[in-house]
Amino acid sequence: MPITRPIFFVLLLANVAVFAWQQNAGPAAGHEPQRLQQQIEPDQVQLILPERPKPAAAPVPVPEAPARAAEAAPALLCKSFSGFTPDTAQATQSEIGTSAPDARLALITSKESSSYWVHIPPQANKAGAEKKVAELKEMGISDSFIISEEGPSRWAVSLGLFKSKDMADNFLQKLVKQGVRSAKIEVRDKGAEKVRLEISAPADVLGTLARQIKALGSATLGECRPVETAKN
């Protein structure tokens, strides 16, 4: 019994000493050194950045509606107006330019072909002219008439008007063979200058011009090919 008590106290002191050592030298209570070490290992740390918002998609262009096709220009017609002198043609051209500046206009100048008049020269009076006509009838020539209008040809006897000199010459030779000695050839209308206006424009414009411009209304009307490039 005296031996057991000392052993008990020795064990008790040993237990107290071990407990005290654990409290002072061991790891602090509530700490987990291994877990903390795993959490702060630098080679396993990953930086997670917040996702950036995706850029907004560019708006899809909406195709514009096709532009409306330009209305077709009205068809051009061409009318020719003939019988102008150079002076009246210029004046009419100016009027057209004012009334219809978009109309296409062409001025065409030409010379009228000369005509050749076969006749017996003027007699002293009407009686003298009638005497000549009677003589012609006796020779078998009935196609003649007396010029009675005032002028240099009054009391002449006309026998024919021809477009070419050759035709007039042939007719005169025929008269000579029939016995006519006093007949002569005279050139008439010595190539007078005439101008024709050709106007290309829509039909309604041509109609308006013909009504508004007096010279066009009294001219001889004809057809022509529309002019697309030339302007007044």
Q: What number does CATH give the domain 77-112+192-223?
A: 3.30.70.120
Q: Is the dihedral of CA 141, 142, 146, 152 positive or negative?
A: negative
Q: CA dihedral in degrees (148, 151, 156, 157; nearest 10)?
A: -60
Predicted TM-score (pTM) of the model is 0.40
Name which CATH class applies to 115-188: alpha beta
* Residue (of 117, 195, 189) closest to 156 by Cα position: 117
Domain ranges (residues) in the chain: 77-112+192-223, 115-188
pLDDT tens track of the chain, all 232 residues? Answer: 455 666 666 666 766 666 665 655 555 544 555 554 555 455 554 545 455 656 555 665 655 655 554 567 788 999 999 988 888 999 999 999 999 999 999 999 887 667 899 999 999 999 999 999 999 999 999 999 999 999 999 999 999 999 889 999 999 999 999 999 999 999 887 666 788 999 999 999 999 999 999 899 888 889 998 876 444 4
| 8 A C-beta contact, residue 209 and residue 100 | yes
